[in-house]
Amino acid sequence: MSNLNAVSFREEQGRYKGIFAWIFSTDHKRIGLLYLYSIVSFFLIGVLLGAAMKLELLAPGKTVMDPATYNAIFTLHGVIMIFLVVVPGLPAVFGNFMLPIMIGAKDVAFPKLNLLSWWIYVFGAIIALSSLFMGGGPPDTGWTFYAPYAFKTNTNMLPAVLGAFILGFSSILTGINFIVTIHRLRAPGMTWFKMPLFPWTLYGTGWIQILATPIVGITLLMIVGERVLNIGFFDPALGGDPILYQHLFWIYSHPAVYIMILPAMGAISEIIPTFANKSIFGYKAIVISTLAIAFVGYFVWGHHMFTSGMSGTALYTFSLLTFIVAIPSAIKVFNWVGTLHKASIQLETPFFWAASFLFVFMIGGLSGLALGALATNVHLHDTAFVVAHFHFIVFGGVGFAFMGAIHYWFPKIWGRMYNTRIATSGWIIFFIGFCTLYLPMFFLGVTGMPRRYYDYVENFHGPNIVSTIGSWVLILGLVIILTNLIRSAYKGEKASKNPWGGRTLEWTVDSPPTLENFEEIPVIDRGPYDYRKNPE
Amino acid sequence: MNKHSDNHIVPYRLYIQVLAGLIVMTILSVAITKINLDTLTVFAAILLASIKSALVLTFFMHLKFDNKLLQILVISVFVLVALVLFITFLDYNFR
Amino acid sequence: MSTMHLHRDDEASKLGMWLFIFTELLLFAGLFIVYGVYRYLNPVAFHLAAEELSVTVGTVNTIILLVSSATIAMATTAIRLKNKQLTILLLLATLFLAFMFMTNKYFEWKGKFEHGIFPGSEDLLRLGHGDTLFFSLYFFMTGLHALHIIVGFVLISIVCYRVNNNSLTANNPVLLDNSGLYWHLVDLIWIFLFPLFYLIT
């Protein structure tokens, strides 16, 4: 079982050669990287679409595209970023790569199913993107596919909706795999409360994936039914209620926000203790708040629908629950800050990402409360404020955590170190670009600029220019970061097993890990962030 | 590793008894609709369906003989669905 | 990759199957929400439309599914008692009952189609909103359920084949157990569909 000259998983010779050794591999680490490469590719497409929108908004009136194109582009940007990038993002990439190693397992519980979920992901992505190239043009409903427009428009809705449906399966299978893995494959001695926090958040995420995704699956099938069979569930002309569509859609899509943000919080909970060189503050509070977010997050979907005409009772309930769900997130922030308190902090690139995560996540979270309050929501609904808010959470929160995670685990995954000076300057430029891009949108929203419009009145010109310039800065930062990482993956210095001094199990295995991760399954006798004892 | 396959061999008799109970309840629920009970009809039909599904879950699906964890999970999923339905009706009921 | 088959974990397979069943339950839960809302909004129309469906056919189909659930449950006992012949017999009985269910369903649907009642039909539109929604829901939900019956049918056929060639025995009954769980799920959903569409009149 254990062989002495074990080679890393990247050099391992399997049954297949070349690219087939990757796309037919059931090794969780190779699957994680397959996801990484596919997700980053789609992310770049999404970024280009976003940049195109910002370019259009550089000046009032038609700048570079007509309104129909703009509608298609914001829809595609949303569909790609949500369903292809952010929802699978951290769980599928770092969850796959790190989860088994962090809990002391050789692989996930169902490796073949794991490979199948990647294939389903690719298949779903192809179906969704095929809408671009068929007659009728790409969908123009926004990523929410709201009824009744979703079955009235003549654009290619079916491939987009079916693609999202198929992608849901991929997400569900990943969730099932992770939950079973965590239940069954923890190393001996690793009790639930000795499990690191990233696996914990993946556990919460897995439950949301299993219990929420099917609802959007069936809802999208109903949209297909509307278009193909005219079933009338959401068609007012046939007695259906379009608001019911919104209910069903958000019953999934709000929890989906937590599918995105929970693993991001998990990654931050790994980075912060490592660079603070200190045990995490309030481990149990973070665990419990993770589960609380997963649970309460299921019942707040209505806050996306405050202006839709729901009953007053529903409005108050959803608003109250929204405020409640903010509490566990705030607990986490306090714990992270508490961990940093009086710590001797190592100022490395992953830490900068984590620290800036705290900053943008706070802004995103607090602006979320402004939207969760009924009175302000009426004013801010469907304005640029909302766009700024969720970009601060989804791009700022999840994106920064993803960047932090990739800089944190880079030496483990590729066995090489990146140029930290370039990486840090990339972070600074990206961070400045991010704030320049999205902060003005808060002001635009408050002063009344609606979202999803390709045009605006002259008053909004100034902030829009700033915002568009921000998008350029952000892309510059992104290019610097990516070229640095790609170059370092080939030419970087060899990294040691534990370059940052982390305490979780992934830092005890080779960089990059061997096929089976561990020569011998470790026996755990300490907490995950025990910085008092020496390692080994 | 594999203790599961040899514990709890459920006797055939138990399955047949449960089946008999299920069929009786099916016939009962049909019979009830013949009597006019107003809104109670709906209630009775749902109640009988719930009892039937509980029987299927406990005996046919072996929950009675499974570990506690699974029992808790199954109950939680049903509670979750009930809560989602309840909250949805906070809208429709008060509109 | 040759190494991942170090051990077999039946508990993991079972947990995985249960998690999958949860997703299926939630899939149908979405439809039950739609049903609940539209029944609440159109009580009279739903009441009258439900009378269009034959209680006899519904009851017969319910009993067929319940019996088939019992037969596959008994098959999980039979395989553990190493009674191969009885296992196969019970599985074939399950398959036969599934086939009967689908036959009944086919004639029920066919009858409705012949009366001009199908999603988007003009007759249905003339009947009004409540009826349209009722029958759309009826076709959508029983259709999705029938799709699950077909999947279960294929699954049980595979199990039957594997019991026959001795690759599924008392030592590794987990595939049979999981197919059984899936089949009970199909039964479980029907237990709710039956009163909602046939009985609440």
Q: Which residues in chain C (72-91) have CB-CB distances under 8 A to chain B?
A: 73-74, 76-78, 80-81
Q: Which residues in chain C (33-72) have CB-CB distances under 8 A to chain B?
A: 33, 36-37, 40-41, 55, 59, 62-63, 66-67, 69-70
- Structure confidence at residue A533 (pLDDT): 55
> For the segment A227-274, what is each residue's pLDDT rounded down to a tens digit?
998 888 999 988 899 999 999 999 999 999 999 999 999 999 999 999
Q: Is A255 on the interface with B (CB under 8 A)?
A: no
Q: Which residue of B has its CA nearest to A305?
A: B91
For chain C, the average pLDDT equals: 92
Is a pLDDT exceeding 90 seen at residue A530?
A: no
Q: Please give the tally of structural domains in chain C.
A: 1
- Structure confidence at residue A526 (pLDDT): 87
Q: Which residue of C has its CA nearest to B35?
A: C201
Is a pLDDT exceeding 70 seen at residue C13?
A: yes
Q: Which of A260-269, A377-386, A497-506, B2-11 has the lowest average pLDDT?
A: B2-11
Q: Which residue of A has its CA nearest to B94?
A: A311
- The answer to whether the CB atoms of A311 and B84 lie below 8 A apart is no
Whole-angstrom Cα distance, residue A14 to residue A24? Answer: 10
Chain C CB contacts of B61 under 8 Å are: 180-181, 184
At residue C4 the predicted structure's pLDDT band, cuts being 50, 70 and 90, is very low
CB within 8 Å of A401: residues ≥ 6 apart: A90, A263, A264, A265, A267, A268, A353, A354, A357
- Structure confidence at residue B37 (pLDDT): 67
Helix, strand and coil in chain A, % to nearest 5: 70, 0, 30
Q: Which residue of C has its CA nearest to B88?
A: C33
At residue B4 the predicted structure's pLDDT band, cuts being 50, 70 and 90, is very low
- Structure confidence at residue C7 (pLDDT): 63
Taking the CA of residue B94 and the nearest CA in chain A, the distance in Å comes to 5
In the chain, the amino acid numbered A487 is R
User: Where do we find the tokens 């915002």?
Assistant: A467
Q: What is the mean predicted confidence (pLDDT) over C120-146?
A: 89
Q: Which residue of A has its CA nearest to B95?
A: A311
Per DSSP, helices labelled H in chain B are: 12-34, 39-55, 68-92
List the subunits that have 3+ CB pairs under 8 angstroms with C: A, B
Is a pLDDT exceeding 70 seen at residue C2?
A: no
A520 close to C8: Cβ distance less than 8 angstroms: no
Q: What is the mean predicted confidence (pLDDT) over C158-180?
A: 94
- The answer to whether the CB atoms of A241 and C129 lie below 8 A apart is no
Chain B CB contacts of C70 under 8 Å are: 15-16, 18-19, 60
State both tokens at A532: 């008092």
Interface ipTM above 0.90: yes
- The answer to whether the CB atoms of B89 and C36 lie below 8 A apart is yes
Taking the CA of residue A308 and the nearest CA in chain B, the distance in Å comes to 11
Taking the CA of residue A318 and the nearest CA in chain B, the distance in Å comes to 9
Give chain A's domains with CATH numbers.
Answer: 23-508 (1.20.210.10)
A190 close to A124: Cβ distance less than 8 angstroms: no
Taking the CA of residue C169 and the nearest CA in chain A, the distance in Å comes to 22
- Structure confidence at residue B5 (pLDDT): 41
Q: Residue A414 class from Cβ within 10 Å (0-12 exposed, 13-18 middle, 19+ buried)?
A: buried
Whole-angstrom Cα distance, residue C55 to residue C62? Answer: 10
Whole-angstrom Cα distance, residue A263 to residue A185? Answer: 19
CB within 8 Å of A347: residues ≥ 6 apart: A275
At residue A1 the predicted structure's pLDDT band, cuts being 50, 70 and 90, is very low
- The answer to whether the CB atoms of C132 and A211 lie below 8 A apart is no
Residue C13 placed within a domain: no
- The answer to whether the CB atoms of B70 and C18 lie below 8 A apart is yes
Whole-angstrom Cα distance, residue A266 to residue A364? Answer: 18
- Structure confidence at residue A531 (pLDDT): 81
What residues make up the domain containing C39? 22-199
Q: What is the mean predicted confidence (pLDDT) over C167-172?
A: 91
Is a pLDDT exceeding 60 seen at residue A77?
A: yes
CA distances from A450 to A167, A442, A460, B74 (A): 30, 11, 11, 44
Q: Which residue of B has its CA nearest to A241?
A: B92
Residue C182 placed within a domain: yes
CA distances from C124 to A130, A533, C9 (A): 35, 74, 52
Taking the CA of residue C33 and the nearest CA in chain B, the distance in Å comes to 6
State both tokens at A79: 């569909």
- The answer to whether the CB atoms of C4 and A26 lie below 8 A apart is yes
Q: Residue A209 class from Cβ within 10 Å (0-12 exposed, 13-18 middle, 19+ buried)?
A: buried
Taking the CA of residue C201 and the nearest CA in chain B, the distance in Å comes to 7
A222 close to C123: Cβ distance less than 8 angstroms: no
Q: What is the full DSSP assignment across chain C?
A: ---S-S---HHHHHHHHHHHHHHHHHHHHHHHHHHHHHHHH-HHHHHHHHTTS-HHHHHHHHHHHHHHHHHHHHHHHHHHTT-HHHHHHHHHHHHHHHHHHHHHHHHHHHHHHHTT-STT-HHHHHH-HHHHHHHHHHHHHHHHHHHHHHHHHHHHHHHHHHHHTTSS-TT-THHHHHHHHHHHHHHHHHHHHHIIIII--
- Structure confidence at residue A5 (pLDDT): 55
Report the share of chain A in percent with pLDDT over 70: 98
Q: Is C195 on the interface with B (CB under 8 A)?
A: yes
Give the closest of A26, A184, A222 to C11, CB-based: A184
Q: How many contacts, defined by CB atoms under 8 Å, are there between A and C?
A: 124
- Mapped onto helix, strand or coil, the DSSP state of residue A142 is coil
For chain A, the average pLDDT equals: 93
- Structure confidence at residue A464 (pLDDT): 96
Q: What is the mean predicted confidence (pLDDT) over A116-137?
A: 91
Q: How many contacts, defined by CB atoms under 8 Å, are there between A and B?
A: 36
Chain A CB contacts of C42 under 8 Å are: 239
Residue C153 placed within a domain: yes
- The answer to whether the CB atoms of B91 and A211 lie below 8 A apart is no
Residue C36 placed within a domain: yes
CB within 8 Å of A255: residues ≥ 6 apart: A208, A211, A212, A294, A297, A298, A301
Taking the CA of residue A22 and the nearest CA in chain C, the distance in Å comes to 10
- Structure confidence at residue A16 (pLDDT): 83
- The answer to whether the CB atoms of B49 and C191 lie below 8 A apart is yes
Residues linked to residue A494 through DSSP beta bridges, in sequence order: A416
Q: Is B68 on the interface with A (CB under 8 A)?
A: no
Which candidate, A183, A175, A190, A186, places its Cα nearest to that of A252? Answer: A175
> For the segment A145-162, what is each residue's pLDDT rounded down to a tens digit?
998 898 888 888 999 999
Whole-angstrom Cα distance, residue A136 to residue A18? Answer: 39
Is a pLDDT exceeding 50 seen at residue A535?
A: no
> For the segment A441-476, what is each residue's pLDDT rounded down to a tens digit?
999 999 999 999 999 999 999 999 999 999 999 999
Q: Which residue of C has its CA nearest to B17?
A: C70
- Structure confidence at residue A12 (pLDDT): 78
Whole-angstrom Cα distance, residue A398 to residue A392? Answer: 9
State both tokens at C62: 């319910």
Task: Say which CATH number the domain at C113 has.
Answer: 1.20.120.80
Whole-angstrom Cα distance, residue A89 to residue A433? Answer: 22
> For the segment A349-373, what is each residue's pLDDT rounded down to a tens digit?
999 999 999 999 999 999 999 999 9
Taking the CA of residue A101 and the nearest CA in chain C, the distance in Å comes to 14
Residue C14 placed within a domain: no
CA distances from A271 to A347, A352, A500 (A): 12, 10, 10
CB within 8 Å of A230: residues ≥ 6 apart: A238, C119, C120
Residue C105 placed within a domain: yes
Q: Is B91 on the interface with A (CB under 8 A)?
A: yes
Chain A CB contacts of B86 under 8 Å are: none
Taking the CA of residue A16 and the nearest CA in chain C, the distance in Å comes to 9
Which candidate, A28, A38, A3, A54, places its Cα nearest to that of A112? Answer: A28
Residue C118 placed within a domain: yes
CA distances from A503 to A102, A195, A425, B44 (A): 10, 12, 27, 58
Report the share of chain C in percent with pLDDT over 70: 96
CA distances from A273 to A94, A160, A282, A337, A338 (A): 18, 41, 11, 10, 10
